[in-house]
Amino acid sequence: MNFELTQEQQLLKDMVRDFAQNEIAPKAREIDETGEFPIDTFKKMGELGLLGIPFSEEYGGSGGDTVSYSLAVEEIGRACGSTGLSYAAAVSLGASPLYYFGTEEQKQKYLVPLASGEALGSFGLTEPNAGSDAGGTQTKAVLDGDEYVINGEKCWITNAGFAKTVIVTAVTGKDARGKNIISAFIVPTDTPGFTINSNYDKMGVRGSNTSELILEDVRVPKENLLGDPEKGFKQFLYTLDGGRISIASLAVGIAQSAFDAALAYSKERKQFSQPISNFQAIQFKLADMSMEIELARNMVLKAAWLKDQGKKFTKEGAYAKLFASEMATRVCNQAIQIHGGYGYMKEYGVERMLRDAKLMEIGEGTSEIQRLVIARELGCGEKKKAKVNG
Amino acid sequence: MNIYVLLKRTFDTEEKIEIENGEIIDDGAEFIINPYDEYAVEEAIQIRDEHGGEVSVVTVGDEEAEKQLRTALAMGADQAYLIEDEDIENGDEYSTQELLKAFFAEKEYDLILGGNVAVDGGSGQIGPRLADQLDIVHVTSAVDITLEGNEAKVERDVEGDQEIISVSLPALITAQQGLNEPRYPSLPGIMKAKKKPLETLDLDDLDVDEEDAEGKTKTVERFLPPEKQAGRILEGEVEGQVQELVRLLKTDAKVL
Ligand SMILES: Cc1cc2nc3c(=O)[nH]c(=O)nc-3n(C[C@H](O)[C@H](O)[C@H](O)COP(=O)(O)OP(=O)(O)OC[C@H]3O[C@@H](n4cnc5c(N)ncnc54)[C@H](O)[C@@H]3O)c2cc1C
């Protein structure tokens, strides 16, 4: 048992913290208010190699591990939830499937620009009528000669408005039992018939780009099918397993930031002639908050470590995502409470953190779905295996 | 061009310093490269990239300082030396000077860069002391360095004014804020840093006797500056205010 980070992990964490506090945190409030995607920040993160942490050097990555990547997501999320979400989605959802399942040619052509930070990636699974129930995907891809023709609609797709390619899931047929076969396709965003709108007005993570995709007779070469044509569903379940670790790291980062603000404020704010941190009611809140953050962080890092060891991490990843996201909402909520009326004002930043944190309970598999995943890992309901997104 | 950078591991400047029984408590504190030394590392890398050569970073400290050396390697330095000073009793600026002197006796160098001052001890002595011992010229507080052939043109900050000095190499120059904007170590840089050479040297390696490097100074007491008191605003006619102020300075503050 060793809880010590390696020297590289420590250096990386320090670097990302410095960068995030100096370059990302000062813009957090503004991008929340304007909803403007911080594309310049992503250019700088690309130059530092942050968009390629968990990918090997031959594909433009940095050859880091999942633990390093989790540390980076936490530090970025600590500075800004919006930037953290787009970062996590770009790496875990946009680029990782190419790394896991792409052919050598696909990796060279599509992964290298993402890993080296020249472009952003995106992953389109959710549809207006297929959220948690990803098996209900309605987007269809039909082979026509050497091309697939894709038709359908996707909603709430992170980064798509700034992406060069989107990985889109679509039904390609039915299996022997009459169930949909779902495959993934690499679709360049400049393909004719591919419309991307970014008009959502969101509660939180407002600086993260969220887009609607409309595909009308979008044609992509046959070679753009990603991975095994029959196992598309399994593939994106694996992708989402990994993505959960990053959402959990992001939740820890947001919670840490809210806690830091609340702790500092409680020592400064005087009522009844003393700092409010002298009151046991406030102390107990702070004690619970810091404990919960640390518990979540330990779970996240354990899941990341399991993944790095090539061990199974489905259950632990779900534990981490479920606990960290619900914890972040609780912690941010209490951070506002500790700030009193000031906490309700935008100026103090903690209300933004609560709005950002809430998404962690929904994106990449809702809390309910995480519980389903865990229960399934416990062997419950083996017979009726539902296909769930998350 | 052989460039050496003197680097010290220090408290993060954002840390709150605490003293207990006359000793500074540093457990739990974050440590960083002394910010002025970071300018020196950045400048060395830029000079190397423009003029060729190698950048070596040198620190005197304990094994914990390896992390700061690795950070400098991750920024782009080529190699690092850690001179261990744990065996020296009561080490001070003199001790560091002696160790560095012994280290540089064996080295060839064109340029030695360092920070203007370390944010912990704040003595600002190491640069000038070492230059003196090596018998080379030095310039402190550089905000701009240009190399031309065997000359360095250094713009230095003199209490807000600028002074431009030309020196011939080898020279020792210390960095002031404003010299450059230090880069963040990149991810690939961090990964490469692991493979770059980092040599640890002790007193024996440098042929230095413990007694010869013993500190020359004695710390008598350590205390924190008094906490800032709330100010007072005087009211009334200006003349009255002045009289009141003079009275307070005499009787209350007792500075007149
Ligand atoms: C800001 C943002 C960014 C996003 N980014 C992406 C992206 O990049 N790519 C992408 O593909 N998707 C993305 N999504 C979509 C996200 O993954 C889905 O919103 C999520 O999976 C939930 O689906 P849904 O919204 O359709 O909810 P629904 O599935 O309709 O769920 C509604 C409620 O019912 C519950 N529920 C559903 N099924 C069950 C069940 N079997 N048992 C118990 N409870 C159940 C849910 O937990 C939830 O509480 C994003 C969403 C948001 C808001």
Average pLDDT, chain B: 92
Asked if the model's pLDDT at residue A384 lies above 60, the reply is: no
CA torsion, ordered A281, A286, A287, A290, to nearest 10 deg: 160
| Backbone torsions φ then ψ of B11, nearest 5 degrees | -55, 145
Does a structural domain hold residue B144?
A: yes
Q: Are residues B25 and B110 in the same domain?
A: yes
The arithmetic mean of pLDDT across residues B219-243, rounded, is: 87
Q: Are residues B232 and B190 in the same domain?
A: no
The arithmetic mean of pLDDT across residues A226-246, rounded, is: 88
What pLDDT, on a 0 to 100 scale, did the predictor assign at position A279? Answer: 98
Q: Which of A181, A179, A166, A170 is nearest to A138 (CA)?
A: A170
Number of separate domains in chain B:
2
pLDDT category at B22 given cuts 50, 70, 90 is confident
- Is A132 near ligand 1, meaning CB less than 6 Å away? yes
Residue pointed to by tokens 């809140």: A285
Tell me which residues of chain A have a C-beta less than 8 Å from any C-beta of chain B. Answer: 7-8, 10-12, 14-15, 18-19, 47-50, 52-53, 57, 62-64
Does a structural domain hold residue B222?
A: no
Range of the domain at B239: 228-256
| Backbone torsions φ then ψ of B73, nearest 5 degrees | -65, -40
Q: Are residues B253 and B195 in the same domain?
A: no
Give the pTM: 0.89
Asked if the model's pLDDT at residue A114 lies above 80, the reply is: yes
Asked if the model's pLDDT at residue A162 lies above 70, the reply is: yes
What pLDDT, on a 0 to 100 scale, did the predictor assign at position B18? Answer: 82
Nearest atom, ligand 1, residue A386 CA:
41
Token output for A179: 């169930």
Q: Are residues B30 and B133 in the same domain?
A: yes
Q: Are residues B81 and B193 in the same domain?
A: yes
* C-alpha A153: how far from chain center: 21
Asked if the model's pLDDT at residue B219 lies above 70, the reply is: yes
Cβ(B55)–Cβ(B48) under 8 Å? yes
Does a structural domain hold residue B223?
A: no
> Using a CB-CB distance cutoff of 8 angstroms, which residues of chain A are in contact with residue B71?
11, 14
What pLDDT, on a 0 to 100 scale, did the predictor assign at position B226? Answer: 83
Mutation site, A48, A58, A76, interface B, largest B CB count within 10 A: A48
CATH number, domain containing residue B81: 3.40.50.620
Cα angle A70, A72, A75 (rounded to 5 degrees) comes to 110
- Is A355 near ligand 1, meaning CB less than 6 Å away? no
The radius of gyration of chain B from alpha carbons, rounded to an integer in Å, stands at: 22
pLDDT category at B89 given cuts 50, 70, 90 is confident
Residue A138 DSSP class: -
Q: Are residues B152 and B232 in the same domain?
A: no
**Domains recognised in chain A with CATH numbers:** 7-120 (1.10.540.10), 123-229 (2.40.110.10), 234-378 (1.20.140.10)
pLDDT category at A285 given cuts 50, 70, 90 is very high
Count of beta carbons in the 10 Å neighbourhood of residue B136? 18
Asked if the model's pLDDT at residue A390 lies above 60, the reply is: no
Does a structural domain hold residue B232?
A: yes
Q: Are residues B124 and B98 in the same domain?
A: yes
3-state secondary structure of B138: strand
Q: Are residues B251 and B171 in the same domain?
A: no
Q: Are residues B112 and B173 in the same domain?
A: yes
Cβ(A144)–Cβ(A170) under 8 Å? no
State the count of interchain CB pairs (< 8 A) between A and B.
46
3-state secondary structure of B212: helix
A33-37, A320-324, B18-22, B114-118: segment of lowest average pLDDT: B18-22
CB–CB contact B187 A18 (8 Å): no
For chain A, the farthest-separated pair of C-alpha atoms sits apart, in whole angstroms, at: 79
Q: Are residues B198 and B242 in the same domain?
A: no
Q: Are residues B244 and B175 in the same domain?
A: no
What pLDDT, on a 0 to 100 scale, did the predictor assign at position A237? Answer: 86
Residue pointed to by tokens 């130059």: A47
The arithmetic mean of pLDDT across residues A47-65, rounded, is: 94
Bond prior to B170 in cis (omega within 30° of 0) = yes
Report the amino acid identity of residue B230. Answer: A
Asked if the model's pLDDT at residue B16 lies above 80, the reply is: no
- Is A156 near ligand 1, meaning CB less than 6 Å away? yes
Q: CA–CA separation, A85 vs A207, rounded Å? A: 9
Q: Are residues B233 and B181 in the same domain?
A: no
Average pLDDT, chain A: 95
> What are B146's strand-pairing partners?
B153
Provide the CB-side half-sphere exposure for B21 (13 A, CA).
0
Does a structural domain hold residue B116?
A: yes
Does a structural domain hold residue B110?
A: yes
Please say whether the dihedral angle defined by the alpha carbons of residues A297, A300, A302 and A304, taken in this order, is positive or negative.
negative
Cβ(A365)–Cβ(A278) under 8 Å? no
Nearest chain A Cα to B31, which residue?
Answer: A14
Q: Which of A93, A183, A70, A134 is nearest to A373 (CA)?
A: A134
Asked if the model's pLDDT at residue B138 lies above 70, the reply is: yes
